[in-house]
Amino acid sequence: MLGTGLIGTFYTMSLHGLRSRDKVVNVFSRSEERVKKFASDYNIAKWSTNMLEVINDPEVDVVVVGLPNNLHKEAIFAACDAGKAVLCTKPLARNADEAWEILQKVRETGVFHGYLEDLVYTPKHLKAHASVENGAIGKVLWVRSREAHPGPHSDWFWTPDISGGGAILDLGCHCIEIGRSFIGKNIRPVEVVCWADTQVKPIAAEDHAIGLVRYANGAIGQFEVSWCFRGGMELKDEVAGVDGSIRMDNFLRTGFEMFSAPGKKGYVAEKAETETGWIFPVGDEVHELGYNDMFADMFNAMENDKKPLEDFYDGYVVNAVMDACYKSAKTKKWEAVELKEWNGLEDVEPLTAFVDYDKDHYLVKEEVLPDGRKKVILKVKTSGEIIQKVTNV
């Protein structure tokens, strides 16, 4: 385990789980004080402030990168040179060029690689995704994903030279991949338009952003991200299809609510700002955030010599989309998503869902009016004229 911050903590909690057969055998941190306590807390036999020492430990089969963004490339290259499988937290890199270098390195060395995008592994997402795949809501037209909270835990997030950006890079990577997951990862993201600004925090990076990602078939992925939201952490997703829709609340409103006048006297949930009044604990945080299913997928894929649901190519595509977002935020225009390699479909049909009303008309809409009559809006196939018919039900 490389890193002992919040993400390293969550990863280790998930990996050790309830009597799990998976075990962190060595842990690295740049802080000796922190790594000694971390190793003690999680019963890890070995620790070091030397990253190469941990990576090259003969007992280590898999290197998990939970470090600041500027250290991802160095750590992944070292894991590749050691011939170790490597799993990396999001975002894969600070920009698409850096992500491309990482992708080429794992390909050249042939090591197993997994992109730890936990929010496409949440229980709600997995069930919703299966429903979409089974046609429950028809063709997906639009996906909206929102992640907002008061800001990251560590100082390096707030420094663009280290992190690579602000709320877009930190949170937008989640939302963009959630959109890709529902729309179809074989459908190419074509262009984006994005607004970003620094509204509240005294930092050089953006603390709030809203963007649209247009896909080759005409579907739209929408993201809203903020480091300015007060009241905890919001993780909300909506999926709209031609035959239905899905709404999910993965965090903050999970069905577990508590009122405490004196205070809960301890940790409530990630990004919680208070422990008094109405608070929203989470029953099993690492499970609700997708870590358990994520690591299960990674290790199952590794053992069966298969590709995991998320690998470094996915991380590269997300980085490329975010690069376009940053460019659009400056130009105030739609900007193309530039990919050095596209592994999905080259030709896709535009999204259409015309429904025949009869041989001469398409159905636009039908509804029952307040007085009980039925109204049907139709399009004449030959002329294109829009007409309506009103009948008694």
Q: Residue 63: CB partners within 8 Å, gap ≥ 6?
A: 2, 55, 75, 79, 82, 84, 85, 86, 87
The C-alpha atoms of residue 102 and residue 312 are separated, in whole angstroms, by 8
CA dihedral 330, 119, 59, 25 (to 10 degrees): 110
* pLDDT value at 230 more than 70: yes
Residue pair 84/63 in contact (Cβ under 8 Å)? The answer is yes
pLDDT in tens, 273-320: 788 888 888 888 899 999 999 999 999 999 999 999 999 999 999 999
Task: Choose among 14, 25, 46: nearest CA to 285.
Answer: 14
pLDDT tens across 109-120, in order? Answer: 999 999 999 999
Q: Which CATH number fits domain 119-336: 3.40.640.10, 3.90.25.10, 1.10.340.30, 3.30.360.10?
A: 3.30.360.10
Q: pLDDT at residue 221 above 80?
A: yes
Q: Where are the alpha helices (DSSP H) in 17-159?
A: 32-41, 51-55, 72-81, 96-109, 123-133
CATH topology of domain 6-117: Rossmann fold (3.40.50)
- Angstrom distances, CA of residue 392 to CA of 90, 108, 253, 358, 374: 57, 69, 43, 19, 6
Global pTM? 0.91
Four-point Cα dihedral 145, 148, 151, 154, nearest 10: -40
Residue 252 has what pLDDT? Answer: 80
Q: Which of 153, 181, 147 is nearest to 167 (CA)?
A: 147
What are the domain boundaries of the chain?
6-117, 119-336, 355-392
